[in-house]
Amino acid sequence: MTGYGKSVAIFQDKKICVEVRSLNGKAMDLSTRVASQFRSHEMEIRSFVTTMLERGKIDVSIWVEQGDKVEMPSINVAVMQGYLEQMSAASENLGIKLPENVLEVLLRMPEVIARKEVYEATDDEWNIVFDCLKKAVEELLEFRRQEGLALAVKFQEKISNISQLLASVEPFEKERVEKIRTRIKDTLEKSLGVEYDNNRFEQELIFYIEKLDVNEEKQRLANHLEYFISTMNDERGQGKKLGFIAQEMGREINTLGSKSNHAEMQNIVVKMKDELEQIKEQVLNVM
């Protein structure tokens, strides 16, 4: 969802500037800073931006530069003179000295600073502004597309890494069963020193191993990896859905780790978690 777009146009002696920025966000969070002469069109601006950008933290700025001239508020000298005369008369009558910063006081008095009235933009000027807004949004969308392509490559790499790590679990599974068998047997014979029935031992061992079976978790994780890629390649905005799939992948990886009962398998699980965390961080920035 990250993006940036800017457009500038000249209308008569004015330079119209439109800037649009976006960051990732769960919903549409739009803030606007619009020059006063265009505020009557603010609802139109908000509606257009919301429709085009869908979601994210969006900032829209529209301002006007008046050529080389800088429009400054003017000082109404006549009003200031009137205030000074009244203050001088009051000072003399009351026997109170005028303050040393009398100029500063006068400048704060009502109506001394005459601000220029805000003009209402014409239809022609507004059309120029709206064209600028469209161009800025299009530029931002193109920025998003480029960022999306880069993210897609990164996601492909991370999903591929998890898939390879998942495949590397298999050689340790048979080894794990034999290690569990040996460990339990040694505990019974050496630590506890008890006699046991081999047939009963094998039955109990099979029951124990079944509880540690990870085939279902492996299959579900493989399905989630495929579903993530197919969802990512969908042209519609699927950021939230990718986030949900990533959560499901995390559940399977966690279960795989808790059932592994094998140092090498747990190391692989840690590596898968690291790859998945990098996916989760970036998926927040996907529409």
Q: Which amino acid is at 45?
A: I
Instruction: State how far the Cα of 115 lies from the Cα of 117, in Å rounded to an integer.
Output: 6
Q: What mean pLDDT, rounded, does the chain reach?
A: 85
Q: List Cβ neighbours of 72 (8 Å cut-off, separation of 6 or more).
A: none
Residues 153 and 274 in one domain: yes
pLDDT of residue 114: 66
Residues 152 and 204 in one domain: yes
Cross-strand partners of 10: 15
Residues 88 and 184 in one domain: no
Give the residue numbers spanning the domain of 58: 3-68+121-142
Stretch 108-136: mean pLDDT: 83
Instruction: Report how far apart, in Å, the C-alpha atoms of 204 and of each of 189, 195, 199, 207 are.
Output: 16, 15, 9, 5
Long-range contacts at 154-157 (CB < 8 A, ≥ 24 apart): 154/278, 154/282, 155/228, 155/229, 155/232, 155/279, 155/282, 155/283, 156/229
Instruction: Report how far apart, in Å, the C-alpha atoms of 104 and of each of 80, 92, 101, 113, 270 are.
Output: 11, 20, 5, 12, 68
Residues 219 and 257 in one domain: yes
Residues 187 and 268 in one domain: yes
Stretch 110-137: mean pLDDT: 83
User: Around Cβ 94, how many Cβ atoms within 10 Å?
Assistant: 8
Q: Which amino acid is at 80?
A: M
Residues 11 and 61 in one domain: yes
Residues 20 and 87 in one domain: no
Provide φ and ψ at 231, rounded to 5°: -70, -40
- State the pLDDT confidence band at 119, using cuts at 50, 70 and 90: low
With a cut of 50, say whether residue 125 has pLDDT above it: yes
pLDDT of residue 111: 83
pLDDT of residue 237: 62
Closest CA to 265 of 253, 275, 274: 253
Q: Are 5 and 11 in contact (CB under 8 A)?
A: no
Residue length of the chain: 287
Instruction: Report how far apart, in Å, the C-alpha atoms of 43 and of each of 69, 102, 170, 198 are.
Output: 30, 45, 59, 80
Stretch 35-49: mean pLDDT: 92
| pLDDT tens profile 61-98 | 999 887 655 455 678 888 889 999 999 998 888 888 88
Residues 7 and 134 in one domain: yes
Residues 137 and 23 in one domain: yes
Residues 106 and 232 in one domain: no
pLDDT of residue 271: 95
CATH number of the domain encompassing residue 9: 3.30.230.40
With a cut of 60, say whether residue 10 has pLDDT above it: yes
CB half-sphere exposure, 15, CA atoms < 13 A: 8
DSSP structural state of residue 287: -
CB-neighbour burial class of residue 246 (10 A; exposed 0-12, middle 13-18, buried 19+): buried
pLDDT of residue 160: 95
In the chain, the percentage of residues whose pLDDT exceeds 70 is 85
With a cut of 90, say whether residue 43 has pLDDT above it: yes
Closest CA to 21 of 50, 56, 67: 56
Instruction: Among 132-136, 211-215, 231-235, name the one with the lowest average pLDDT.
Output: 211-215
Tell me which of 124 and 172 has the higher pLDDT. Answer: 124
Q: Against a cut of 0.75, is the pTM above it?
A: no
Q: List Cβ neighbours of 260 (8 Å cut-off, separation of 6 or more).
A: 169, 176, 212, 214, 266, 269
| pLDDT tens profile 193-206 | 666 667 766 676 66
Cross-strand partners of 42: none
Residues 137 and 18 in one domain: yes
Q: Work out how many domains the chain is built from and give that number.
A: 3
Place of tokens 């905005």: 237
